[in-house]
Amino acid sequence: MTDTTIGRNLRSPWRIGIDVGGTFTDFVLIDSDGAIVPYKSPSEPKNPAVGVLRAIDGAAAMLGLSTRAALEGCSHFIHGTTVVTNVLLERKGSKVGLIATEGFRDTIEIRRGYRELMWDHRTPWEDVLVRRKLRLPVVERVAADGSVVTPLDEATVREAAEKFRTEGVEAVAICLLHSYANPVHEQRCAEILREMLPGVYVTASSELAPIIGEYERASTTVANAYAAPKVLPYLNELRSELTRRGLSKDMLLVQSNGGAISLDHVSERPAALALSGPAAGLASLQLYGRQLEADHLISIEIGGTSCDVTVVSNGAVAETESVKVGDILIALPSVEIYTIGTGGGTICGIDQGGLLFAGPEGAGAKPGPACYGLGGERPTVTDAQMVLGRLRAGSYANNTLTLDASLAVNAVNRDVAAPLGISSVEGANAIIRLVEQNIRHAVEKVTLERGLDPGKFILVGAGGAGALHVAEVARRLGMKIAFVPRLAGVFCALGMCHSDVRHDLLQSMSRALGAELLSDLEDGFGRLEREGLSKLEADGFPSVSSSFEKKLDLRYAGQQWPIAVPAGNLNVASIRKAFDEEHERLYGSSQPDAVVEVVNLRLAAVGKLPQLPKGGDGLTQLAPAPVKERRQVSAGDGSGLQIDMAVLDGTQMCAGHFFNGPAVIEEVTTTILVGDGDRVEVDEFGNYRILIGSANAGAANG
């Protein structure tokens, strides 16, 4: 999968992945032969659909196709969107009402009653998504075993519906006590609300997140209701427009768990799109892991606004059963991604104390960095890279942007260098050193805090800006290899073309693990498998192309939080052994004689997309890469000194080419910085391996 030639004869059907970022909308097309076509287009923050359609139009024109022909030849159209994330972070969602069991309407405000930073007693919580006057109680009570203690008083539900109508509520979340054990009251509430409030979005916790934990269910359901009326119209309008333009297949959306889901299914759970874009990077990371034959990878995916760090250890990505967007908890399965506000568009400056800062505020797509010439005046990380000579002036992103070095110099000098009494180059160098220290700390957080040695991992530089930092960050972390995919700048869009369809299903069960529970576990997983298969068949995946991943949430009796353990083989002894070992690994202790409780049964129903050709040109005889030109560039060693550095044209580099740093490689979707003493090699798949501190291996050049 190395052919990125533009204008070649493509063989349909092909797949299209579209990733909407804060600065660029990335497009990737992969045809049936494995040929890959990347394209980048500026995003449109006020209307992301405009950016999506513009990217499709531009890519089609570049290929000599009409937009209709490009869409008619598409078998899978996969979209990653930050719309849900933005709605939650910016608090621009719908007006929400909440139905709760009498006495429990303040659950979402009480939260769990503790602070993550235990010594921080003063920082106030953000306001919850539902005003208290719209959190209405209904008379009912279900016990933890599912038995009905107090029947549902339907009159109280109708009173609440009338109040919601008067207040102009756009969506209603239903979260009743112990509804995971018996959803009958929630189901009846939903029926009444849909009958009395036509056009109002209604979501019930027993359908969305039937888990033990009142706060987790309430927060997730409220977030779903808050986002739905803002997100679903955008997605439906985009689908209609794509259909009008020639797309005959249903649009798929990437979920936080890294799997795709049809729009019809996501309408029930738009909160599952909270990490839609970044989570797609998992599929790319796993693809490159197979090509590298490596089981330990860390990616730093750096775009315009953020740096997303993902870890693959022993061939498996870390997953979590909940994710936070700001302080909003969403208890749905997710790829574990650690994000910091560091990207190419991160704004830098000097604070009131005279200290340099970088972020978290970003310049976005418009006005963008100063060097874009679109009205941005404050210096960003991209401007610093331009001042250091690592980015060339001129056109980028298929001639949709023109970078002006003089604008970057002026911004860095005015807001950073002059206040510190240093040169613009020294100011830009200080920005990059600070940013790379922040990235290093982010990687250490997801490795050292989990007992993982980063030195045993390969660091993958992805996103439009990751390749400029990857070698230096790897060096600081003691890593031996940094890796840059040739298509690093469209990393997540590429991953979308490889994302299998996935549905996550759950059944709560608070029972002691033992032989007598085995038949109940088999029955529970059997029911979940049937439900999962039904959903996959509706998505066009028959049983022969489906698979199931089973897990059990377990805990020692009396503990608060469970641990997920694989349950492919329902053998009580092996499950117990796996749980004790995982508890020992995570917490340094285990209790082999303690009672273990089963909290939840989890099943991921996966529809496998047909595998694309692996590709690979095969290694030819090693040869030095040709030098395109030389220019003054800061080498990245911390000194900030600029030297006469070799600049290589990535489009002229193929399998077997190597070069000893320092050097800059200009690729179609990214720019790579190779440090002094490092050696870069193009592997058989056309990707770049940077051997940290190994420039003396083989013939020297540069």
pLDDT digits (tens, 9 = 90+) for 462-485: 988 999 999 999 999 999 999 999
At residue 87, the pLDDT reads 87
Q: Model confidence over 46-76: pLDDT tens digits? A: 788 899 999 999 999 999 999 999 999 999 9
Q: Is the pLDDT of residue 9 over 80?
A: no
- Which carries the bigger pLDDT value, residue 318 or residue 216? 216
Chain mean pLDDT for the chain: 90
> Residue 402's pLDDT is what?
85
Looking at the domain that runs over 91-232, which CATH code has it been given? Answer: 3.40.50
Q: How far is CA 514 from the centre of its chain?
A: 38
For the segment 358-404, what is each residue's pLDDT rounded down to a tens digit? 988 888 767 889 999 989 999 999 999 999 999 998 877 666 678 99
| Structure-token pair, residue 656 | 């077997």
Nearest CA-CA partner of 485 in 279, 688, 281: 688
Q: Is the pLDDT of residue 668 over 90?
A: no
pLDDT confidence of residue 486: 92
Pairing of strands 663-666, 671-674: antiparallel
Q: What is the mean pLDDT of residues 251-271?
A: 92
| Per-residue pLDDT, 1 | 47
The size of the chain, in residues, is: 702
pLDDT bucket at 700, cuts 50 / 70 / 90 = very low
Neighbours of 503 (CB within 10 A): 26
Residue 401 pLDDT: 77
Distances (CA, A) of 423 to 220, 251, 454, 637, 640: 50, 51, 35, 17, 10
For residue 691, what are the β-bridge partners? 481, 679
Sign of CA dihedral 404, 408, 409, 414: positive
Examine the pLDDT at 558 and tell me if it is beyond 90. Answer: no
Q: Are 1 and 30 a contacting pair, CB within 8 Å?
A: yes
Distance between CA 576 and CA 556 in Å, rounded? 11
Fold of 501-607: Dna Ligase; domain 1 (3.30.1490)
Sequence letter at residue 261: I
Token pair recorded at residue 203:
């979501």
Give the C-alpha distances (Å, rounded to integers) separating 413 from 357, 370, 379, 409, 571. Answer: 15, 12, 9, 6, 66
d(CA 496, CA 258): 9
Residue 5 has pLDDT above 80, yes or no: no
Number of H helices, E strands in the chain: 20, 38
Say whether pLDDT at 699 is over 60. no
What average pLDDT does this structure show over 87-106?
A: 93
Query: Is pLDDT at 4 greater than 60 in this prediction?
Result: no
In 520-607, which ranges are E strands? 546-556, 563-566, 596-607
Q: What percent of the chain has pLDDT over 70?
A: 95
* pTM of the predicted model as reported, rounded to 2 decimal places: 0.86
**Confidence bin at 542 (pLDDT 50/70/90):** confident
Region of 251 on the Ramachandran plot (φ > 0 left; ψ -120 to 50 alpha; else beta): beta
The tens digit of pLDDT for each residue in 146-205 reads 999 999 999 999 999 999 999 999 999 999 999 999 999 999 999 999 999 999 999 999
Most confident of 472-486, 487-501, 631-645, 656-670: 472-486
Rounded Cα–Cα distance for residues 58 and 52 (Å): 10
Helix (H, G, I), strand (E, B) or coil at 670: coil
What's residue 130's pLDDT? 96
pLDDT (0 to 100) of residue 596: 95
Residue 671, beta-bridge partner list: 666
Domain segments of the chain: what residues? 91-232, 501-607, 623-691
